Structures are given as structure tokens and as C-alpha cells.
Amino acid sequence: MDLENVIKRFDTYNYLEARFHKNDSLSIFLMDGQLLGVTKETYSGYSVRAYDKGILYFASSTTPENLELKKVESNGWEELGEEETTSGKYTVNQRKTFDSLPIDEKIKYLKDIYTRMKQLDIKSKLLNFNMYYVESTEDKRIMFKDGSIVEGNVPRIGIYYSLVMKYMDKTVTVWSDEYGGSGGLEWLDRWNIGEELENKIREVDNVLTKGKSPKEGKTDIVLSSMLAGIMAHESVGHPFEADRVLGREAAQAGMSYLRDLNTKKIGSEAVSVIDDPTLPNSNGFFQIDDEGIKARPKYLIKNGEVTELLQDRFSSPKYNTKSNGSARAMSYNREPIIRMSNTFFQPGNMTFDELLEDIKEGIYFKSYMEWNIDDMRLGERYVGLEAYEIKNGEIGDPLLFPVLEGKTTEFLPSIDAADNEIHFYAGLCGKGDPDQAVPVWLGGPDLRLRNVRVKVM
């Protein structure tokens, strides 16, 4: 009834969507194995969005009665396409519900991880160890002018940590954004956080205590699935957002190199990048987008060629195409905008060992501690954390913080192989103003790049 009334109130507009959107969450924070705090949040409210003469009018409030749209007289930038609206419901089931484990058990689970790390026999000092657990449920109900209704229910769980290690005069910050997915507490059984974190700390300790300086110059490298994931997301996913190519984000998160790209060929045959919101139990899961368009997997790049951008109802007419269901809003008080979901390089058919096999001399970037990219998504920089030399097809000594710096248009053509194992990492993707952080997965296989430039920090 509430949404119907909103639709009725504003039915003079030729496009209209009304949304109820609720985000519930429970967060637990630990510092050095001690509880820092618990927060329990509920954000819920209503929004309405309407289109008129090139302008999108958006209003949000905690109560539907307070929604207010006021037209302005001005040239509008937006265009509206003709699209079918899909009605439907999507949900993610929990095999173990959030309330199946009391909060003290959840705190104990996190404390046990810290205790395990403190007992590690390493040469470096573990100065700080911060952990953050969050379980959340996102519920939305969206009604469109034609009466179509979309309902979504997605529970999610995530564990994040940051730690500081020091050996002599070298300090490193290690953080994770790896553990997150949709579903319930069954994820805690699937993730092997204790063991993985132990291995990570041992490896970072090894780098700090035995790492040697990398050589500057051109070399072959292998990027782990973690770096492949960040590259898929940041160097392909973001610049393939149609609104970004068109300049709608120009004053915020920037634009895209695709604006100036005069060829479809962007990478080697080994490069295929997919954005797929329908991956079961993924962090970026949805089946119908917030504009009532059915979601589907999208090949952004297939065998090195640009195939499809991420589109919504308002970008697609500018490309004379249809929306591919990429619009999402973070919460009730944010407009739906084009967002990635789960973005990843497609695996190849080699094993990891086969990737290494014919590298005479190179570097394996297993994890990174700094990453950034320019606002056209062209010039990027990765500073390795766990990094190793590759010698005669085998992993060798640890290296101290090699820097990979170059352009997307150099890296994608230099990928000549991907292995056959895919891994996903959880992340929160930021965009827009007012800012919106939405849950995503990023991932891929291990990738081999030939003859790229490595710098010394």
C-alpha cells in the first residue's frame, strides 16, 4: 500500500519507481583479541525517483509521506530508454541462520583467531591486530509505474582484519577484504581463516626477515587471483560502467579510457572478463536490478575484445542499446546507479605450475599492500606485499615490495595465460555522490604477464 500511494502521488511523471529499502546489520569489533564494541544497526526508509525532460528527480525519507519532488527549469542530461519491467522475487537462503550462534560464540570465534596468531613463532612483532565481523540483511521492495514489483532479500556475512607487523626498521600494514559472501553462518565453516591467516603472517614475516630488493626493469610476472581480482574490478569493471564513459561520474570517481579507445581489441586472446550478479552466494548477488531489469552475466571483454558495457535504463539509450540490469542502490536514501556485482577474469586451462614453467626470470605478486589508479582507469600501481622471484620456472626468494606500474592498455595485451583455478574476494565498491558502497566480489585465476615494467619503491 505504501509504495502504491507513492506511485499514485507522483503519477504525472512518465517514469517512476518507488522503493522501500531496509539494511539490518550486526557488527563486532575486536582490537588485539579484546572486544572493542558491538553495534546493531537498522536503516530503513523510502525513496522515489522520477524522470522528466532529461532530469532525474530523487527523494528519500524515513516515511513515505515526506517524499517530495520539485521540478526545476533547466537543460537535462539524462535520457530514458524503452524497457520491459520484470516483476519477481529473489532471495538467498541461509543453511545456518545468523541467530543459530549466540553473540558470545561469535566473539569467541574471532578471539580464537587472534590467540592462534599470537602463538605463532615468527621473528617479526605483531604490533596490532584488528578484526571486524559483520552480518547483514538487505531487504528491498520496488514498485514501478506499471505496477511491476521487485522484491529482494539478501543476507550477507563478512570478516575483515588489519594488522601491523614490524621487523627491525621495517613496518607493514596487512589487511584483508577477502572474506565475504551472501548466505549465513555456513560461510564460517567454509572459510579457513585461522589457517590462511597463519600462512599469510608467516609469509609476510618471511618477506620482512629475508626479502631482498627486486631488480628494476622489464620482466615476466605472475599475478595471483587477488591481484587479478583487483585488476578485473578496477581496470576493467569500473571503466566499463557506461555512465562513467559518458562522463556522469567525471567530477567524482572519474571517467574511462574507453572514451578515447578507437579499437575493440583491448587485450590478448587470454583475456575474458565477466560481471555476473547471478553467482550463487556471491557478495554482489541479485537477480533483478533496482530498475526492474532482469540481471544476467555479462562479458565485458571476450578473448581480448570489448563486448559489452554495464548499462542501466538511462545510459542505454545513449548507446542505442538496452539496459543489462546493472543498476543498484546502496540504501533507501541513494539513487540507483550503474554498479558492478561480481567481476572476474575467466580462468584458462593451465595449472599454476605450468604458468611458471617457462618463466626464466620473473616475479610472482601474491598479495599487495597498496594499489591505486588514475581517474581514467589507465595508469595503475601495485606494491607487492607477499612477492617472490621466479627462477627457471620455480618460486624463489621473497622480494621486498616490488612495484608494478603501468597502463591498463599495456597490461591486458601482455597477459598470455591464465590458470584454471578461480578465487573470489569480497569487497565494498565505492562510487557516486552522495557516496555509495555496495558489496561485490572480485576475482579470477592467476595470470601471467609478459615483459612488463617493475620498479623499486
Partner 1 sequence: MNDDLLALKEKIRGFEEFAIFKTKNENTVVKFVTGKVSTVQRLNDEVYYVLLKSNKKYIITTLRGNVEIDNFNNLIKIMDEPKLSPKISDNDREYRFIKLDDEIEKIREDPSNVISLVLSSEYPISGIINIRKVSISLLTSKGFNGNDTRNSIDGYFRAFNGDFSGQWAFASSKYSDSIIKDSVNTACEFASINKKIDIDDGKYDVVLSPLVFGNLMNYLAGMSSGLSIMMGESIFAKYKPGNKIANEKFTFSDVPKEDRPSALEFDQEATFTRNKKIIDHGVYNTPLLNNEIAEIMNLETTGNAGWISPTPWTLDVEQGTISKDSLLSGNVIMFNNNWYTRFQNYVEGNFSTVGRDAVVVYKNGNIEGVAGRLRIADSLNNIIGNIEELSKERYLVKWWDAPLPVLSPYVLIKDVKITKA
Question: Cβ–Cβ contacts within 10 Å for residue 422, how many?
Answer: 17
Q: At which residue does the C-alpha cell 584483508 appear?
A: 176
Three cell numbers, residue 423: 578465487
- C-beta of 105 vs 361, nearer to partner 1: 105
Question: Cβ–Cβ contacts within 10 Å for residue 178, how many?
Answer: 23
| Binding-residue pattern over the window 226 to 255 for partner 1, x denoting contact by CB under 8 A | --------------------xxx-xxxxx-
Least Å from the CB of residue 152 to partner 1: 18
**Sole binder of partner 1 in the list 122, 149, 369, 400 (CB under 8 A):** 369
Judged on CB neighbours under 10 Å (0-12, 13-18, 19+), 119 is: exposed
Least Å from the CB of residue 209 to partner 1: 17
Residue 63 backbone class (left: φ over 0; alpha: ψ -120 to 50; beta: rest): beta
Pairing of strands 361-365, 387-391: antiparallel
| Binding-residue pattern over the window 121 to 140 for partner 1, x denoting contact by CB under 8 A | ------xx-x----------
The SS3 assignment for 114 reads helix
Site residues for partner 1, 326-355, by CB under 8 A, read: 332-333, 335
Q: CA-CA distance, 363 to 261, in Å (whole number)?
A: 30
**Sole binder of partner 1 in the list 96, 302, 391, 455 (CB under 8 A):** 455
Bridge-partner residues for 130, per DSSP? Answer: 31, 162
Three cell numbers, residue 312: 542501466
Segment lying near partner 1 (by CB under 8 A), choices 80-88, 92-100, 340-348, 365-373: 365-373
- C-beta of 302 vs 407, nearer to partner 1: 407
The SS3 assignment for 204 reads helix
End-to-end CA distance of the chain: 60
Query: 86: part of which helix (H) or strand (E)?
Result: none
Site residues for partner 1, 379-438, by CB under 8 A, read: 379, 381, 383, 405, 433-434
Amino acid at 21: H
Segment lying near partner 1 (by CB under 8 A), choices 157-165, 270-278, 350-358, 444-452: 157-165
Answer yes or no whether residue 104 interacts with partner 1 by CB under 8 A.
yes
- C-beta of 122 vs 172, nearer to partner 1: 172
Least Å from the CB of residue 345 to partner 1: 22
- C-beta of 164 vs 437, nearer to partner 1: 164
Q: Specify whether the CB–CB gap between 167 and 125 falls below 8 A.
A: yes
Among candidates 375, 450, 444, which has minimal Cα distance to 233? 444
Q: CA-CA distance, 344 to 201, in Å (whole number)?
A: 26
| Binding-residue pattern over the window 176 to 215 for partner 1, x denoting contact by CB under 8 A | ----------------------------------------
Site residues for partner 1, 263-322, by CB under 8 A, read: none
Using CB under 8 A as the binding criterion, the count of chain residues that bind partner 1 stands at 77
Least Å from the CB of residue 347 to partner 1: 28
Answer yes or no whether residue 40 interacts with partner 1 by CB under 8 A.
yes
- C-beta of 68 vs 196, nearer to partner 1: 68
Three cell numbers, residue 449: 604477464
- C-beta of 28 vs 418, nearer to partner 1: 28
The SS3 assignment for 68 reads coil
Q: Specify whether the CB–CB gap between 162 and 174 falls below 8 A.
A: yes
Segment lying near partner 1 (by CB under 8 A), choices 53-61, 138-146, 178-186, 263-271: 53-61
Answer yes or no whether residue 73 interacts with partner 1 by CB under 8 A.
yes
Least Å from the CB of residue 254 to partner 1: 6
Least Å from the CB of residue 63 to partner 1: 7
Q: CA-CA distance, 69 to 55, in Å (whole number)?
A: 12
- C-beta of 60 vs 341, nearer to partner 1: 60
Strands of 357-422, DSSP E = 361-365, 368-373, 379-384, 387-391, 394-398, 402-407, 415-418
Answer yes or no whether residue 78 interacts with partner 1 by CB under 8 A.
yes
Answer yes or no whether residue 1 interacts with partner 1 by CB under 8 A.
no
Answer yes or no whether residue 372 interacts with partner 1 by CB under 8 A.
yes
- C-beta of 145 vs 318, nearer to partner 1: 318
